[in-house]
Amino acid sequence: MRMMRTLLTIAVFAVLPACAQPEKVSTQHLKEFENDLGELSARIIPATVAVKIGNAGGSGVIISEDGWVLTAAHVFSRPGQKVSITLHDGNVVHGETYGRQQTDDFGILKITTEGKWPHAEMGSSEPLERGDLCVATGHPGGFQDGRSPPLRFGRVTRTRGQFVQTSCTVDHGDSGGPLFDLKGRVIGIHSRIGGSARQNYHIPVDHYRKHWKRLVAKEHWGQFRFPKQGAVLGVSGDGGPGGSRLSRVAKGLPAAKAGLKVRDTIVKFGDDKVETWDDLSKAIKKHDVGDKVVVMFKRGGETQTATVKLALSPNAPRPEEAGEMPVVAKPEGKMSELLEDGDNLKSAFNDLAKKARHSVVRIVTGDNARVLGTVVGKDGWIVTKASELKSGDTTVTLTDGRKLKAERVTVEKIWDLAFLKVEASDLTPVSFVDAKDFRNGQWLASIGQDEEPLNVGVVSVRPRSLIAPNASKQGYLGITFDLTFDGTRIKTVMPETAAARAKLEVGDVIVAIEGKKIRSITHAQRILKLKTPGSKIPFKVLRGDKEMTVEATLGSRAEIATPPAPRGRSRGRGGRRGRGRRTSRTRYSQKSSGFKNVVQHDTILTPRDCGGPVFDSRGRCVGLNIARANRYNTLAIPAPDLAKLVAAVRKASAEQTPAAAGKEKGKEAH
């Protein structure tokens, strides 16, 4: 009810007459709203599941107590497959795949393990409008122990066309996961992404409602992009000239029933001569469902004829389905009407940014490499992200325009933090609060040197460690696998790791480890987890069409230094010049894992924006951004951890002898 009161109040401001000055969104509005988001997340996260079939996987959402699960069709290949379903708490249950429609990418599963399951209500996609607020969950990258399904907040940006488009950032592994409205009802299912982090495409939930009987009956359809109405032949083909050569013939439809086959070339359809695929399409449209038409085609060197009886398009509404889709009311009093765009959301934190920006510095090292830093001491102490610093002189720019030379005092490798010192006594330090109460859906504003925030997001996952258990005892190769590939293809090679030294490359497919044929990603990971640092491991890899063997000496994740930036510069496709991992149009931080404790939020930043402070809606500094980890999240070190680190470093510095301090003066981050 509190959400309704908040949103209804906000809606009043949206309908004030033009002559009145509508109230701008304030941090008070956001504080009230984030409480509602927290309550919402507590209801929708338990309904979110991870789905695994062999090496392939995705996400899903339970929509009934007896275990029906909505997902994307591309998560599985056919009805009747056995599937493992991981619940939000890590428990694994069994399931089976049911129907799927390939063209629009929707399908369903059923939990076969007995029980009553947490679930979300199905909403409707029909009432959606541009600007409606929404929330996404799922398991990007697959299920991870200790990580709840990350929460992402956004708005609907497009409703026309095949998919609903939103600004909720999803990624590989999220496929099949749910998109919710502010009442916690499923309004879409994640299907695909675009080049920008703002391009996220979701299957309208009304597809599931409309075709529920077919899905439950384990039908598998939509391999062809048939029209939504009219008659069909049931083929796809290549353009001419000389006829339309068939590339696919759908089972059970008129062409297949009449005996037409792949590679047949249709030259005449009824009275119409066929030279191209367009000719055939136009000829079919002249006829009605049930018409019998003589088709002339070539097979081999012979000309043959067949009579086809045209059928109703498989995508056309069935009579028994008409009127089954109920209209679901939209959430009353949308906050969307107040938050017309992201700038309005950011502006709620402008007063905060105007004050807090004086605690932020811009750091330049080497060949103009830039990153933010946070002032943690009036007497010149600054903390920043170590791996974004390059060798060479370090210059710090304050908001008043002063440029000061900085000394690199020390690096905390496991946190990827560098502590700097400048000659000053009048800086404005942040005050770290003992903020241990991070909640999913809590607003976080990332502050830079401007009078408005860099960006605003919400807490996706509460604080957790990203250090693997017994990391110091486990050997570390330094790769990630491509989860979209049915096999063990390398997606990332971390710099300065065993994999990099062994010259493993992105795109290599690992086919054997120590002579053992590798069956899956899980199989490879299981073997490597048993190895200790220093182990020499032979890998047989497929690089292109060439098979080769390389030997890697495993390192230790716990001992890995903060990786340096790659030498030189590169311009990635669709990206900007600069450093950092690059996927599509977005750059990510070189070091984005192995942290002792971080909170995950959905704010879109760049690696250069890291090192700056994070504030909550109460105006408290609750952390420091330490990595743009990937498409859907940024990581921040919580304030209590930072406060302890700052105190420890300052104490150690104060206890140094003058001689020791002199030796430290020339020390560089590495």
Virtual CA dihedral for 211, 216, 220, 223, nearest 10 degrees? 30
Q: According to the model, what pLDDT value does residue 260 have?
A: 95
Q: According to the model, what pLDDT value does residue 65 have?
A: 97
Structure confidence by residue, pLDDT tens digits, 8-50: 333 333 333 444 444 567 767 787 888 889 999 999 999 999 9
H helix or E strand, kind and range, residue 653: helix 639-655
Q: How confident is the model at residue 664 (pLDDT cuts 50, 70, 90)?
A: very low
User: What is the rounded CA–CA span in Å between residue 110 and residue 477?
Assistant: 38
At 280, is the secondary structure helix, strand, or coil?
A: helix
What average pLDDT score do residues 280-306 get?
93
> Which position has the higher pLDDT, 474 or 371?
371
Q: According to the model, what pLDDT value does residue 326 have?
A: 33
pLDDT at 614 over 80: yes
pLDDT at 376 over 60: yes
> Which position has the higher pLDDT, 300 or 645?
645
pLDDT at 585 over 60: no
Instruction: State the average pLDDT for the chain.
Output: 84
Residue 453's nearest CA partner among 608, 588, 614, 339 is: 614
pLDDT at 564 over 60: no
- Tokens (6 digits) for 59: 């996400």
How far is it between the farthest Cα atoms of the chain? 99
Q: According to the model, what pLDDT value does residue 225 have?
A: 63
Q: What share of the chain is helix, strand, coil (3-state, %, to 5)?
A: 20, 35, 45
Q: According to the model, what pLDDT value does residue 475 have?
A: 87
Q: How confident is the model at residue 247 (pLDDT cuts 50, 70, 90)?
A: confident
Structure confidence by residue, pLDDT tens digits, 393-447: 999 999 999 999 999 999 999 999 999 999 999 999 999 988 677 999 999 999 9
Which domains are seen in the chain, by residue range?
A: 27-221 (2.40.10.120), 235-310 (2.30.42.10), 343-465+592-655 (2.40.10.120), 475-556 (2.30.42.10)
